[in-house]
Structure 1
Amino acid sequence: MTWTVVAATAAVLIVYGLICFYIGYNGWVWLRLNKPLRKYKYAYVALIIFLSLSMFAGRFIPIPLLSLIGGYWMVMIGYGILILPIVNVIVLLLKKRGVYWIGIGVLAFFAIIFVYGSFNAWSPVVRTYDVTIQKPADSENMKILMASDFHLGSIVGKKHLDRFIEIAQAEKPDMVLIPGDLIDDYIAPFLKTDMDESLKKIHAPLGVYAVLGNHDYYGGDKEKIVAEMEKAGITVLEDDTILVNNEIVLAGRKDPTDHSRAALESFIGSGDASRPVFLMDHQPIALEEARRAGVDLLVSGHTHRGQVAPAHFITSRIYENDWGYLKKGKLHSIVSSGFGTWGPALRIGTRSEAVMINVHFK
């Protein structure tokens, strides 16, 4: 580790510490209005320190509740930075009158965020897109069910995975595509809660296919994850193509996390372009490359559409298509906001979703 990295890490931790102090201090200013609570000053300080550390500890200590608390604290920091300066200005303008009720308003705001965000996270919707591909196929239409970013682990568990299975059974797709981040870093919670048995219940006449996302690499369990998906009947494509039903070329790319990721043209041949070509690529960063390679349908995830507003303004600036549908020449790009969550088990301005794609061939 270089001194530059050490200095940058120290700077980030100092800034983070100052932000946590700012939020904690604002909370104490309000709490001490109630005189009986003043004697709990040190307990309150200990609570703020615990919350500040939980955001990091939850990623390394296998305690689901700790991860959940850390995620909620992440949201409190994000919105605290946005609203507390405004609240401070209002308090100054009112010459500290009405501070108690302003504090109640802030608490009500966070209560609404947590309730509404939890509802959006745990009640997935099915979004439908229709695309027309100007190539012939034996059947005129095909139904594809696509879902990305499950992040199965200590927070997103078997109950939420079963919700997707119910959707798959109700929609009866011809094909199921999972473009990355099935697992949230480590496979142990997935296996411990028998989610592997649930995964085996996902079926489709033309098959179930997946690629790996960045979080499928982070925990060092990539080979185990691939093995579990293959045991569940899911074909994992890593810079490879497969001919589905002798008519559809389906390709899957390695995530950019994998430095051996190959150029698209190296495994999609020019001869494939006469058939409909579908591509799974976890991160929607190579739309132009896909268009040049003759891909007709590109499905991706990764962005979560920011997951918690106003982060969607950031993802919309980073990605050409950060969510939904975009047509680029003959390429149809569809990006999902994801079926699960990462970090906080909340969604504000987004909703957990599965995507139905009705493909029409001409």
Structure 2
Amino acid sequence: MRALINAFIIHLTLNILVFLKGWNVFEGKKAARIIMIVIFGTEFLVYSIGFIFYRHLPEAFTQFSRVMGTSWMLFVLYSGGLWLIIDLAYVIRQRISHKPWRLREQSRRFKTISYFVPIVIVAGIMVHGRYQFMHPEVQQLPVTIHKPAGKVDSVRIAMIGDLHLGYMIDRNHTKRFVDLIMAQQPELILFVGDIIDGHIEPILQQRMDEELSRLHAPLGVFSCTGNHEYRYDAEEKIELLNNAGIIILRDSAVLIDSSFYVVGREDKVVPTRKPLKEILTGQSVEMSKPVIVLNHTPDNLAEEADAGADIALYGHTHHGQAFPGNIATEFVFEVAHGYKKKENTHIYVTSGIGLVGPQHRIGTVSEMVMLTVKFQP
């Protein structure tokens, strides 16, 4: 509830600031101001109704209001940022020239141009960002592990993170993701958590589990848990995923084809989560065989490396999802996105295939990763 209230306050504040900017630009233009009132009023009303009463409204309306509202919030955030930069530059320039600098004293021509140019720029950026989300990239990652894996000399693994299925990412998106994964013909499919975003209701209402059930690979389909699995209805969501054929590994390991291990860790929000070394010992994992670890949040890469994991796969960051979030995540995480080798451990942090909030990728990509792992003793 607190997150909902915070999002509502931020949305309201941004709308007020941007509305006042336009109100100043269209001074004396009654028709333009009326259009502004209609646009901002309608958007805020639809957004507010959809977010506050989402459990009591048709699902199509709820999804539309959330997609529209979050996209609009991103639009006003970027536009407002550009307008702020332009106005600051104007004030500084006027002060240096010892000329009047108050924004209300700008010429109508300057006001109009400086108002509409950022709108056009941001609109173009968001169209491209939407395209980036709708067309995920397939990253190819070759990895060599210097351990024997029984009769297996190589394996093609599909790694996917952060689908966030729910009110925003609906069944159509789910089908799109599943089609892309299956088109790669993986031998093993591994998720790194946050398959389901929040409440389980939209999953059940749209029968998204039917799409997830189409996922299959000769060596199986597995996942660890993510923090969003635990936001609501945790056990129900985990049971649904298991029933759909995605085996959730909760601080446990599985031996694949008597050749290598996949270890899935509980998300760090779980108080009883075990240290990786304890999992490996408790599950009698033979470290002479290759070990692949699934761990949602990449906040302590050293733990997997020190425990002797050969491959460690993570998600969670979304690489910030939209600029400047990508820059922020680079400061927060040792690896915010991409590949790194730490000691003898091959690490990959995916930016994820789904999203939380605005369905735009700006400065980042939606992706799935195809690992071609070779085992060379």
Q: Does the Cα contact within 8 Å between 1:147 and 1:336 map onto a contact in 2?
A: yes
Match of 1:89 in 2: 88
Deviation at 1:350, TM superposition (A): 1.4
Match of 1:268 in 2: 280
Deviation at 1:113, TM superposition (A): 2.5
For the structure 1 residues 100 and 256, does the alpha-carbon distance in structure 2 shift closer, same or farther, using more than 3 Å as the test? same
1:317 aligns with 2:342: no
- The TM-score normalised by the length of structure 1 is 0.89
Match of 2:99 in 1: none
Deviation at 1:44, TM superposition (A): 6.0
Q: Does the Cα contact within 8 Å between 2:277 and 2:307 map onto a contact in 1?
A: yes
For the structure 1 residues 44 and 169, does the alpha-carbon distance in structure 2 shift closer, same or farther, using more than 3 Å as the test? closer
Q: Match for 2:257 among 233, 236, 245?
A: 245
Deviation at 1:27, TM superposition (A): 2.2
Match of 1:126 in 2: 138
1:231 aligns with 2:231: no
Q: Does the Cα contact within 8 Å between 1:241 and 1:251 map onto a contact in 2?
A: yes
Q: Match for 2:301 among 277, 287, 301?
A: 287
**Letter paired with 1:302:** H
Deviation at 1:215, TM superposition (A): 1.1
- Aligned counterparts of 1:193 and 1:118: Cα–Cα separation in 2: 23
Q: Does the Cα contact within 8 Å between 1:139 and 1:361 map onto a contact in 2?
A: yes
Q: Which runs of 5+ in 2 are unaligned?
A: 95-105
Deviation at 1:199, TM superposition (A): 0.7
**Letter paired with 2:294:** M
Deviation at 1:296, TM superposition (A): 0.7
**Letter paired with 2:29:** N
1:297 aligns with 2:292: no
Q: Match for 1:29 among 24, 41, 52?
A: 24
Deviation at 1:171, TM superposition (A): 1.4
- Aligned counterparts of 2:71 and 2:53: Cα–Cα separation in 1: 11
Q: Match for 2:192 among 171, 179, 198?
A: 179
SS of residue paired to 1:273: coil
- Aligned counterparts of 2:327 and 2:54: Cα–Cα separation in 1: 26
Deviation at 1:122, TM superposition (A): 1.1
How many corresponding residue pairs?
A: 356
- Aligned counterparts of 1:30 and 1:51: Cα–Cα separation in 2: 25
- Aligned counterparts of 1:14 and 1:164: Cα–Cα separation in 2: 33
1:194 aligns with 2:194: no
Deviates more, 1:196-205 or 1:59-68: 59-68
Deviation at 1:165, TM superposition (A): 2.3
Give matches, 1:1-362, under 5 Å: 18-32=13-27, 34-39=29-34, 43=38, 46-47=41-42, 50=45, 53=48, 57=52, 63-92=62-91, 93=93, 95-96=106-107, 97-137=109-149, 138-218=151-231, 220-269=232-281, 272-362=286-376
Q: Does the Cα contact within 8 Å between 1:58 and 1:67 map onto a contact in 2?
A: no
Deviation at 1:37, TM superposition (A): 2.3
Deviation at 1:19, TM superposition (A): 4.6
Q: Does the Cα contact within 8 Å between 2:161 and 2:353 map onto a contact in 1?
A: yes
Q: Does the Cα contact within 8 Å between 1:59 and 1:67 map onto a contact in 2?
A: no
- Aligned counterparts of 1:273 and 1:57: Cα–Cα separation in 2: 51
Q: Does the Cα contact within 8 Å between 2:291 and 2:309 map onto a contact in 1?
A: yes
After superposition, what is the alpha-carbon deviation per residue over 1:239-258, rounded to whole angstroms, capped at 9, x for unaligned?
A: 11111111111110111122
- Aligned counterparts of 2:253 and 2:279: Cα–Cα separation in 1: 7
- Aligned counterparts of 2:244 and 2:122: Cα–Cα separation in 1: 40
- Aligned counterparts of 1:59 and 1:297: Cα–Cα separation in 2: 41
- Aligned counterparts of 1:19 and 1:89: Cα–Cα separation in 2: 18
For the structure 1 residues 119 and 59, does the alpha-carbon distance in structure 2 shift closer, same or farther, using more than 3 Å as the test? farther
Match of 2:103 in 1: none
After superposition, what is the alpha-carbon deviation per residue over 1:88-131, rounded to whole angstroms, capped at 9, x for unaligned?
A: 23555584342212222122122112211111111111011111
- Aligned counterparts of 1:102 and 1:58: Cα–Cα separation in 2: 38
- Aligned counterparts of 1:84 and 1:20: Cα–Cα separation in 2: 14
- Aligned counterparts of 2:14 and 2:168: Cα–Cα separation in 1: 26
After superposition, what is the alpha-carbon deviation per residue over 1:173-216, rounded to whole angstroms, capped at 9, x for unaligned?
A: 11000111111111111121121111111010000001121111
> Aligned-residue CA RMSD in angstroms?
2.8
Deviation at 1:167, TM superposition (A): 2.4
After superposition, what is the alpha-carbon deviation per residue over 1:213-265, rounded to whole angstroms, capped at 9, x for unaligned?
A: 111111x2111111111111111101111111111111101111222211111
After superposition, what is the alpha-carbon deviation per residue over 1:30-79, rounded to whole angstroms, capped at 9, x for unaligned?
A: 34463422356754663575488579648877611221123113313432
**Letter paired with 1:87:** I
Residue identity over aligned pairs, in percent, reads: 31
- Aligned counterparts of 1:71 and 1:300: Cα–Cα separation in 2: 26
**Letter paired with 1:194:** R
Q: Does the Cα contact within 8 Å between 2:158 and 2:190 map onto a contact in 1?
A: yes
